[in-house]
Chains A and B, each alone.
Chain A
Amino acid sequence: MTWTCEQIEARLTDYLDELMPAEERREFEAHAQSCADCAPLLASVAGLLKNLHALEAIEPPPRLAYNILNQTLGPRAQTKGVRSTFGWLNNLLSMRFAYGVVSVAATLIILLTASGFSFRKPKLADLSPVNLYRQADSRAHLAYARSVKFVSDLRVVYEIQSRLSKDNNELPTEPESTMPRSTPDKDPGSTDSTKPGSPKQQNRANGLSRQVEVLAAQLPPVHNVWGAQWFGRRIR
């Protein structure tokens, strides 16, 4: 009998669970192992079964059986004597309890510090609700006032900067013919022709020279030649 792929797929479980007669099993294998579609299918399902059978049972939580018996038979017998008195101490050994204690302590320290309690010179009176409230209130107001001052300082600085940049941009410009020319070899602001000034110095010098040139253009003409030459040298 020649098996088709559909038949192989339909009888895969019978083959893997060894429920097939020997003859059928041989015919099944003859097709499954030589078919390009059936061979990978057989391999993957066989591998899956191997994995499934290798899985171990999962252990239920210990309290499950206890809860079941509690619900069905009623509350279990309570421990008596020393164990019942000090049994709760076992819970203190858990990490969860330790984390909880540390978190609570950290929160209290932060709150007390924020409310003005001094750990160096602690006073019992500082822990009274009225004092705590007053301290917290004054600190809150102080923090608010400081933040307001900081913001207003920032605003002032910003306004000054914006006005300065505005003034620099509004400086009038004159046509070049009326402006005295500077020496091409020597840049204003530099004292030594071999060492150029820093960019900051250069900018400041350029700004100053521009302002001086504007002022010079506005001054009345000097008819005395010597005076003109002297004045020209001074403004370069």
Chain B
Amino acid sequence: MEQDAQLVQQCLQGDGSAWEELVRRHTRRIFNICYRFTGNGTEAEDLSQEVFLRVYKTLGSYHSAHGGFATWMTSVTRNLLIDHYRRTKRDRVTDSLDDAMPVVENKESSARRPDQQALLHELSGQVQTALTKLSPELREAVILRDLQQLEYAEIRQVLDVPEGTVKSRINRGRIELARILHQMGVRPS
């Protein structure tokens, strides 16, 4: 976090390499939030670019009172996702996956057996399908807590709601998600 704050200061002083470093650090996280929320790889890519563009333009407005830089950036991402959701609500017929899931390729996945990797990929697709069936409020709460592993206090800052509301949404989201997965025939491991 301190490193992020330092990089932000360097960016504001015109250091392009500091901005490159910030982009490198946060691209994966922002892309994952966007993808898990929209269920669409192309939309997630476009929205991620918009997030960084917005952050770049409003970098001067970031203050440590907003919390950590990552939390502030997540808040910007969340607002953009909600705006996008409202804008595209009319065009959306079903909340279903529009394209194939991006491939998960990282060090941990290469260490797994192929059958384990295939099962995990299938599970990821099923969870994604179920997530898109949740309402946006419950969906963002579950994504931030269970997929991004944010603390309740951070989620409260991102969503700008009381902590009790955060817990309530996470609770309802989890129960609803478990019910949807059960209906899809996905049994808990």
Contacts and interface: CB of A to CB of B under 8 A. Distances in A.
A48 interface: yes
A68 B25 CA distance: 13
Nearest to A60: B31
Interface stretch (B70-78, B84-92, B104-112, B153-161): B104-112
Interface string B91-119: 00000000001111110110000000000
B165 interface: no
Size class of the contact patch on chain A: 20 to 34
A67 B49 contact: yes
A173 B123 CA distance: 81
Interface in A1-44: 9-10, 12-14, 16, 41, 43-44
Interface residues of B, number: 46
B182 A44 contact: yes
Given A55-B147, A60-B27, A45 B174 contact: yes
A73 B57 CA distance: 11
A60 B127 contact: no
B82 interface: no
B146 A52 contact: yes
Contacts of B187: 47
B20 A69 contact: yes
Contacts of B177: 48
Given A12-B175, A65-B27, A52 B147 contact: yes
B150 interface: no
B132 interface: no
Contacts of B28: 57, 59-60
Interface string A59-80: 1110011011101110000000
B29 to A, nearest CB: 8
Interface of A: 9-10, 12-14, 16, 41, 43-61, 64-65, 67-69, 71-73
Lowest 3 CB-CB distances: which A-B pairs, in order? A47-B188, A60-B31, A13-B171
Interface of B: 16, 19-20, 23-24, 27-29, 31-32, 35, 41, 45, 48-49, 52-53, 56, 101-106, 108-109, 120, 123-124, 127, 142, 146-147, 167, 170-171, 174-175, 177-179, 181-182, 187-189
Given A47-B187, A52-B146, 13 more contacts: A9-B175, A44-B178, A44-B179, A45-B178, A47-B178, A55-B124, A57-B28, A59-B102, A60-B28, A64-B31, A65-B27, A68-B23, A72-B52
